[in-house]
Structure 1
Amino acid sequence: MSWLLVAVALAAASASAEVYKVGDSTGWTTLGNFNYKQWAAAKNFRLGDIIVFEYNAQFHNVMQVTHAEYRACNTTSPKATYTTGNDSITLTRRGHHYYFCGVPGHCQSGQKVDINVPRLAVRAPSPSELASPMVPATPANPPSTNAGVAASPTTGVLLATMVLFLGDLLFSHRS
């Protein structure tokens, strides 16, 4: 049952996923002393969001690492290594996701980023979803078990938000 809840939560989250290019127009590089820590702190990452690392694959890569490896710029045993120059990674779990460039000296010079997906974070409905009118049931409509409740984008967003919140509650009590 819990795997089904996770699947529903991820599907709901990905329906409103944001795509973030790491470093924005600067991309993933050592040029210009870009502050990736400051960049990530200004973002509001959620489950289902996609982070994209764009870089010259001749000079850089992306390694996903543990917190200890991140702090020490230790490249010996990454969780994953990406080398395409255009790597898209979907955020599928809450907490910190640590990445750096594994080319010698690059991490030490600041080419590293900590992407944090907060524990109970859920994406709020957009203004356009909130402004979408709900159509009330009319006598011409056949009766149903949910008479008076009309489906709308807002209803879907609220349902997805509830599913994510309940999933967080279930999983936070297990750990």
Structure 2
Amino acid sequence: MGMGRGSAIMVLLLCLFVIESEMVHAATYRVGGAGGWTFNTVGWPKGKHFRAGDRLVFKYSPGAHNVAVVNKSGYAGCKTQRGSKVYHSGKDQITLVRGMNYFICSFVGHCQFGMKIAIYAP
């Protein structure tokens, strides 16, 4: 049995409400806090509750650091894989996707000194 016009409109309104609710609840986080994206930020995500759609702001000195979006093995091995998106503006804004999100600085040695974060976003 099909939906009447009124039911279809109610479903559409409900969908719009859900989409708007997701957008309203998105948060913005400055990675590393006041110190920004730098060494030893690996523990920065602890105690925070992220969601898909939240925005991360990476503040750093361009030319001194960057932000590479990597997968789990890239994170563990501090390696940027072919095809990885690499940001280098010093004021990068990246929206979290659902699931695990991995970020490293791909400058030699920086990731090994804790310039990496892993965030789960349900």
Question: TM-score if structure 2 supplies the norm length?
Answer: 0.79
Percent identical:
39
One-letter identity of the residue aligned with 2:120: N
Paired with 2:52 and 2:58, the residues of 1 have a C-alpha distance of 18
Residue ranges of structure 2 left out of the alignment (5+ in a row): 1-11
One-letter identity of the residue aligned with 1:98: Y
Distance 1:27 1:7, change over 3 A: farther
Q: Is 1:101 equivalent to 2:105 in the alignment?
A: yes
Higher helix residue share:
1
Paired with 1:83 and 1:7, the residues of 2 have a C-alpha distance of 35
Quote the offset at 1:9 in angstroms: 4.9
One-letter identity of the residue aligned with 1:28: W
Paired with 2:118 and 2:16, the residues of 1 have a C-alpha distance of 25
Quote the offset at 1:40 in angstroms: 0.6
Structure possessing the higher relative contact order (Cα contacts under 8 Å, 6 or more residues apart) = 2
Aligned counterpart, 1:47: 52
Distance 1:48 1:6, change over 3 A: farther
Q: Secondary structure at the match of 1:41?
A: coil
Q: Is 1:16 equivalent to 2:21 in the alignment?
A: no
Contact 1:98 1:115 in 2 (8 A): yes
Q: Secondary structure at the match of 1:12?
A: helix
One-letter identity of the residue aligned with 1:99: F
Distance 1:13 1:70, change over 3 A: same
Higher strand residue share:
2
Residue ranges of structure 1 left out of the alignment (5+ in a row): 119-175
Contact 2:58 2:91 in 1 (8 A): yes
Aligned counterpart, 1:135: none
Q: Is 1:37 equivalent to 2:42 in the alignment?
A: yes
One-letter identity of the residue aligned with 1:13: E
Contact 2:30 2:36 in 1 (8 A): yes
Question: TM-score if structure 1 supplies the norm length?
Answer: 0.57
Please, what is the CA RMSD of the aligned residues? 2.2
